[in-house]
Structure 1
Amino acid sequence: MNILKRKSMALTLIIPIIATGLSTSFVFAEEKDATIISNQGILRNLANFQGEVIETLPIGTQVMVKETTQDWYQVQLQGGNTSGWIYKDILIKNEETTNTFKKGTITANILNVRSIPSTDGSIVTKLSNGSDVTILDTKDQWYQIQLANGTKGFVHSDFVTSIPSYPKAKVLKDYSSLREKPNSNSPLVMGLNTADVIYIKGYDNGWYHVVTKDFIEGFIKSEVVTLHIDMTNPVSRSGSRTATLTGIKSVTEKYLGKPYQYGASGPNAFDCSGFTSYILSTYYKDYLRQKQINLPRSSRDQANVGTRINRNQLQTGDLVFFNNGTSRIQHVGIYIGDNQFIHSASGRNSGIIISSLSESYYDRGYHTATRL
């Protein structure tokens, strides 16, 4: 789903020309205020998931958008010199624009996309029910549309329903309240339930300003909402690598030297599973929600989450587990590449440290690894 500037007119929400997919090389300069809407506001030095993590911005952070290219925004922190690249689905622009496109979702089970606005046109591609499209133009009863991959074509308007042109999200909890204002005492607009689709229009101190698929507007607590993050390299539950966790090395290195403390879960002290739990639930909360992962607190239980992988398959972001010569898992860390992992160690070299899997102690004690 594209992160874009919006303007509302009647029951049609419209989006700007910078929509992702309109050009695979569309780049231009601009300066507009925007808001981080994810708990995982990772700022990178490159416009891709392999870029080094510069900083992780908390939800609600205001930034200036300097440039747009494909699925990424180059932003600068307001009042500072720090700048970098933010992925499209974790940022929303605050200001309106006069350059507009509409959004729609396909309602037919299978819909032919044709080369011209007629059933005589050749079939360019086919779309399934629920597919989101950008509407470029209207010709008679046909919409000219464009897909995220840049493909253009025509579909009949009878099989397309207008949808809000804001970042897509889902509700996590039944009986969640949509209120008139960002306040628990504000009048109730309506109730929402688990998996209801909403569209995020803004953020205000713990509340999302949202629009429902029926264009009903209100505020809902951000803690009961998960963003729909359409990653360029998505993860499958079979264990393929996600680009989202490739920057975890930079994130975790900020805690090097923090002391070990049994039972501690940060941010100033950690035990081993407290460290992995804190990092993933703090910086990758939306990712875990999207994958429907409820990460347990103990190392033994964490080993039962995700997909088991072989030692020679390790990639950055995998969890590595050790039994220390016993029959039970007693330790966990986060693999950061180059045969190294970061963890909260006890004993002589206690605290958050980076160790090699080749060290005799960890080589002997290595038990398994999982990929979330």
Structure 2
Amino acid sequence: MRRNLMIALTALTLASALPAAAGAAAKEGKAQIVATVSFRTAPSTSSSVVRYLKPGESVALLEKTNDYWWKVRESGGRTGYVSSRSTYVKLISAPAEEADSGASANANAVIVSSVSFREAPSASGARIRYLKANEKVTVTAKVNSYWYAVTDSDGKAGYVSSSSSYIKLTGPIPDASSGGSSGGNAGTGSGGNGSSSGGSGSGSDSGTDTSGPGGTLDAAAKAEAVIEAGLKYLGTPYEYGSDRNTTTTFDCSDFVRQAFKDALGVTLPGDSASQGAYVRERSAVTTDWRQLKRGDLMFFMDYKGTSSSLYANKQPFTSKISHVGIYLGDGKILQTYSKTSGGVRIDSIAGKHWEYRFLFGGSAL
């Protein structure tokens, strides 16, 4: 009798667990690997590689961590992260979204591409965080041609670019008549990322000023647009002499060139030495990297080793330029330099060979 009771209880427990398991599985998406890609322990190019996923492998999509990474489960049952670029992963079905609740239930806009969520309607406003692609937000007002006042799903208030490259309206804006049209997509004014073209987004793909360095936006706004564009390529593989007509691989100067092209419609010279000359012709440069502004370009000499003494004889304006990157502020650089480093990534400068190799830097705007 006791044995039969135990069997019955076990069966009941298993039966009650089945719907939950089925529900969990239903939320997962599916994808297929189309090119060899790193399967990592965390959503960062600096994290450890568990193994390389091969073309033809299937993975379960658990969630889209941000614009650049999927959280996945591979066939062996291990959970990790892979690049979300279509170059590596073919989406078969996306993970099911959770039901809207709270503030997100009243949302009237959706984030199209990762964008800065700021405390003030200015490119110099403190960043609260990055809003992720597909996040739902509530636009409470159109501040001007460049900025929306929004509330995120947690009820936090702030400001985002009104560029249609970053946000899409799905409903009317309260009191929209006082701030311009609210129909269709947001206008192309980027609110610190570019200029307004009015209407429903007829400007460039990036929603930024395409008139080049002589455009009407200030340099800080353009620099933010370049950085936003560059960050979208995190994890893209490195290839020396990469094809300037594709974005599947980059070398250092190709990456910088693409970021400017995507963000501003500006085409920089195709190699780091020429880009260095371009910057020197257009702006005051500095040999102290700590004096650089966010978005400035940094130029470096050849790598000789990790000791500062190896670079004692460098000549900032006569040594050969062999590398370029984008300064992010706070002692960080956005760059790509080797296959083994994981492609486009963010590195610290101070106390590293980057500091010792640095020749000069300045604005390309």
Q: Which is greater in Rg?
A: 2
TM-score (norm. length: structure 2):
0.44
If asked which structure has higher relative contact order (CA below 8 Å, sep 6+), I would say: 1
Judging by fraction of residues, say which structure has more helix.
2
TM-score (norm. length: structure 1):
0.43
